[in-house]
Structure 1
Amino acid sequence: MRHGSIPGAHGRVRPLTLLGDPVLHARCEDVTDFGPELARLVEDMFATMYAAQGVGLAANQVGERLKVFVYDCPDDDDVRHLGHVVNPRLVETDGIVLRGPEGCLSLPGLEAGTERYDEAVVEGFTVTGEPITVRGTGFFARCLQHECDHLEGLVYADRVTGWRRRRLMHQVTRASWHRAGSLT
């Protein structure tokens, strides 16, 4: 990312990976090269997230099996959180567990009540390899947990159970973006 520029301003919007693509259910690999290719990927991810009107995006959602995510997400007090994390580790979840509506750019137009902790702490690195710690509460904590799940090969639908899961899967099969027979 260029210093002082708007994240994604120099990025390329990439096609989103949709539910049913095996890359979404594969564990991502650690980033080992903190060079210009990683910086380009992060720029592209911001551009893609903004184009899709999302609040977070993991690398496997643009077809890259690398542990990196970007976010531009408010918390419950409407404080904006903007950044990226390379090789993130969800090191703490705390507070109460809340079931709230959750969506995903890889399941466009759908959402389901998903249980998440209302506090989360993620440790990782910046695109230049500097260590960072990101703390979130409320909706932002949900976002951090959601993106960390992606990098472990999970989508929020994997956390939904019972009638909520049955309803969501029914909606997936009826979605215009769903390819028949593509669900695993």
Structure 2
Amino acid sequence: MTIEQQKPDDSLLDIHYLGDKDLRKSAKRVSKIDDSIRELARDMLQTMYSSNGIGLASTQVGIHKQLIVIDCEPELSTNAPLILINPKINYYSQELCVMEEGCLSIPGVYFDVIRPEMIQVSFKNENGRPCQISATDLLARVIQHEIDHLNGVMFVDRVTNDLDLTTKLQEKGFTRESVKSLK
């Protein structure tokens, strides 16, 4: 799929923020990959780029379909963005790594999160073809983060330091009550 990777003036879709009940709903499998799904993916990419993000799940824009878009290097127009429809992680490495995460649905809030270092994920692309990839580093992290969104989970649910979490969320106008800890 080709999409201009320059930052447009406005987002096409409205991003929902922590506290919005839509973010806690699980997404449904996409049964038919057609032009409407491809258009949604394009709109999501444009929204992600305009918000300076590197990943976006459909649930973040209030659409409960299993669709995520990712571009870990948006400044490199030679790299095509990833579009994952009905993604499923088939393998998680036992090796874990800690990396800082943020989220377009919780602007200005960043925390270290522990996740598996490597994953294998299967999905369908925008043409409906089955695909499988192994991912490490930032790509593995972004895929896990976005698949969490499809399951109603947000990265702050994985943060273990309650005091720090509460303080940083309040500083940005969010409440701790919106977090569903996975401890």
Please tell me the TM-score bracket, short chain as reference.
Answer: 0.7 to 0.9
Instruction: Give the conservation status (yes or no) of the 8 Å contact 1:27–1:152.
Output: yes
Shift of 1:65: 0.7
Question: Structure 2 CA distance, aligned partners of 1:172 and 1:181?
Answer: 7
2:34 matches 1:39: no
Question: Structure 2 CA distance, aligned partners of 1:181 and 1:139?
Answer: 27
Which residue among 161, 169, 183 is the counterpart of 2:178? 183
Q: For residues 21 and 108 of structure 1, do their structure 2 counterparts lie closer, same or farther at Cα, with a shift above 3 Å needed?
A: same
Shift of 1:129: 1.1
Shift of 1:81: 6.9
Q: What residue ranges of structure 2 are gaps of 5+ in the alignment? A: 74-78
2:154 matches 1:159: no
Question: Structure 2 CA distance, aligned partners of 1:73 and 1:86?
Answer: 17
Point out the structure with the larger strand share.
1
Question: Structure 2 CA distance, aligned partners of 1:173 and 1:51?
Answer: 26
Counterpart position of 1:28: 27
Written as runs of structure 1 = structure 2, the 5 A alignment for 1:63-142 is 63-74=62-73, 82-142=81-141
Instruction: Give the conservation status (yes or no) of the 8 Å contact 1:16–1:62.
Output: yes
TM-score, normalised relative to structure 1: 0.84
Corresponding residue pairs, total? 173
Q: What residue ranges of structure 1 are gaps of 5+ in the alignment? A: 75-79
User: C-alpha offsets along residues 97-151 of structure 1, whole Å, 9 cap, x if unaligned?
Assistant: 1121111111111111100111111101012211011221111111111111111
Q: For residues 127 and 139 of structure 1, do their structure 2 counterparts lie closer, same or farther at Cα, with a shift above 3 Å needed?
A: same
State the 4+ residue runs in structure 1 displaced beyond 3 angstroms. Answer: 7-12
128-137 or 10-19: bigger deviation: 10-19
Question: Structure 1 CA distance, aligned partners of 2:36 and 2:166?
Answer: 36
Instruction: Give the conservation status (yes or no) of the 8 Å contact 2:100–2:110.
Output: yes
1:167 maps to amino acid: D
Question: Structure 2 CA distance, aligned partners of 1:61 and 1:32?
Answer: 20
Question: Structure 1 CA distance, aligned partners of 2:23 and 2:11?
Answer: 21
The CA RMSD measured in Å over matched residues stands at 2.5
Q: For residues 58 and 33 of structure 1, do their structure 2 counterparts lie closer, same or farther at Cα, with a shift above 3 Å needed?
A: same
Task: Give the match's secondary structure for 2:71.
Answer: strand
Question: Structure 2 CA distance, aligned partners of 1:117 and 1:156?
Answer: 14
Task: Give the match's secondary structure for 1:127.
Answer: coil
Q: For residues 181 and 96 of structure 1, do their structure 2 counterparts lie closer, same or farther at Cα, with a shift above 3 Å needed?
A: closer
Question: Structure 2 CA distance, aligned partners of 1:126 and 1:144?
Answer: 14
